[in-house]
Amino acid sequence: MTAILDRQAALRAEVVEALRPGTPAPALLDPLVEVVRTAVAGCVQAIAHPDEWDAEEWSALFRARWATLPDGDDTARAYRVGARVAWRVATEVAQRGGAPAEDVLRATEVLFTYLAAAGECGSPAVSRAVARQRLMGLLLADPPAGRAQVAEVAAEAGWEVPEQVRVVALRRVPDEDRRGHADLGPEALLDLDGPHPCAVVPATRCHRAALAAALPGWRAAISPAVATGHAARGLRTAVRALDLVARGRLPQDPVLDCEDHLLPLALFTDEFLIEALAEDLLAPLAPLRAYQRNRYLATLDQWFATRGRVAEMADRLGVHQQTVRYRLTRLTELFGDRLEDPRRRFELELAVRARLRHRR
């Protein structure tokens, strides 16, 4: 508990920072800080002394704390922010104390109690927001939650469960104005405060232009359509896409549709293995000078793209047809029958595409 006391002074600042943009009124901020402080203490007790942790006792304590918060739309967001700050601080304290990962996971039971108390004590708007947040947690769980549980919480949230969804991973654009209000409408489940900000949208209702207009200040990646019970797969794919955007492997579009970039997403699932593959398959080019390697890589790329049509290759590369023929002759000398074997040719095409994308 000493570690918790050490964090008391910083806790208020963390809550204020998490609630940005804007600073909430003291009538909301002061009791919210107390709720978060209580949640942190509950998490740490559940981790350090699980036999002493009593769900009913803590539920009553959370209800008493939540009853001090005012009604209003700000409170609906405040409860989510409070859960995030409490989880971060509690796990940080536990890890500094050397608690193993399986013990840290016990803190999730505290946060479920926290959320349930928020739903019981809040206004209808808060209760609906709590249900929608719980629903997102169930949909993005891995392994997936049961259908009956999802259906029950979806009914509380007023959300009709579709057959398929697309998960939209979100990331703040640095230095962008944060005052814009994200609004995807009631059909979308939205969490901007969690560790992986995202939205879960019915697959038939997810449109790139609408997302761009509704999410000022955010970069978005839309997953391929997935069965609703496997939304976690969609989130992983969309988050990976944002990582590749950040590393320059994918276009810096405000809203990126993963279905337009399935090959690079597959290629860069494990960049170490892809680079090892490229290093092995492109070894015949290694002795050449850098500018020569680049020319032959570009020629191979267009050879695959045009199926070897010399005139089209010359046009795309901006060189004379005779230059293309010379390069193809040289490539045949370097790679031999690997250019004729279908399996090796496919592997080589993947290696060329990966190497060219790596250099962009």
Looking at per-residue confidence, does 91 or 145 come out higher? 145
Question: Residue 168 has what pLDDT?
Answer: 95
Nearest CA to 92 out of 104, 83, 80, 81 is that of 104
In the predicted model, is pLDDT for residue 179 greater than 50?
no
Residue type at 9?
A
In the predicted model, is pLDDT for residue 185 greater than 60?
yes
Please state, in angstroms and rounded to a whole number, the distance separating the CA atoms of residues 224 and 166.
6
Three-class SS of residue 69?
coil
Please state, in angstroms and rounded to a whole number, the distance separating the CA atoms of residues 281 and 112.
51
Question: Residue 139 has what pLDDT?
Answer: 92
End-to-end, the C-alpha distance of the chain in Å comes to 50
What does the pLDDT look like over 288-299, one tens digit per residue?
999 999 999 999
Q: Which two tokens stand for residue 204?
A: 């038939």
Residue 87's region, left for phi above 0, alpha for psi from -120 to 50, else beta, is alpha
Write down the H helix ranges in 217-257.
231-246
Please state, in angstroms and rounded to a whole number, the distance separating the CA atoms of residues 250 and 241.
7
What does the pLDDT look like over 80-95, one tens digit per residue?
677 677 767 776 766 6
Question: Residue 24 has what pLDDT?
Answer: 64
Q: Partners of 171 in the beta sheet?
A: 219
> Contact 110/47 with Cβ under 8 angstroms?
no
Count of C-beta atoms within a 10 Å radius of residue 356? 15
Q: Which two tokens stand for residue 2?
A: 């000493």
Please state, in angstroms and rounded to a whole number, the distance separating the CA atoms of residues 202 and 231.
11
Give me the residue spans of the domains in the chain.
1-122, 282-358
Question: Residue 119 has what pLDDT?
Answer: 57
Residue type at 257?
D
Nearest CA to 250 out of 234, 271, 264, 269 is that of 264
Q: What is the pTM of this model?
A: 0.61
What does the pLDDT look like over 285-337, one tens digit per residue?
999 999 999 999 999 999 999 998 999 999 999 999 999 999 999 999 999 88
Please state, in angstroms and rounded to a whole number, the distance separating the CA atoms of residues 293 and 205.
46
Count of C-beta atoms within a 10 Å radius of residue 174? 7
Please state, in angstroms and rounded to a whole number, the distance separating the CA atoms of residues 285 and 290.
9
What does the pLDDT look like over 151-165, one tens digit per residue?
998 998 889 999 999
> Contact 32/74 with Cβ under 8 angstroms?
no
Residue type at 219?
R
Mean pLDDT of 126-141: 81
- pLDDT class for 70, splitting at 50, 70, 90? low
Q: Which two tokens stand for residue 112?
A: 């479920």
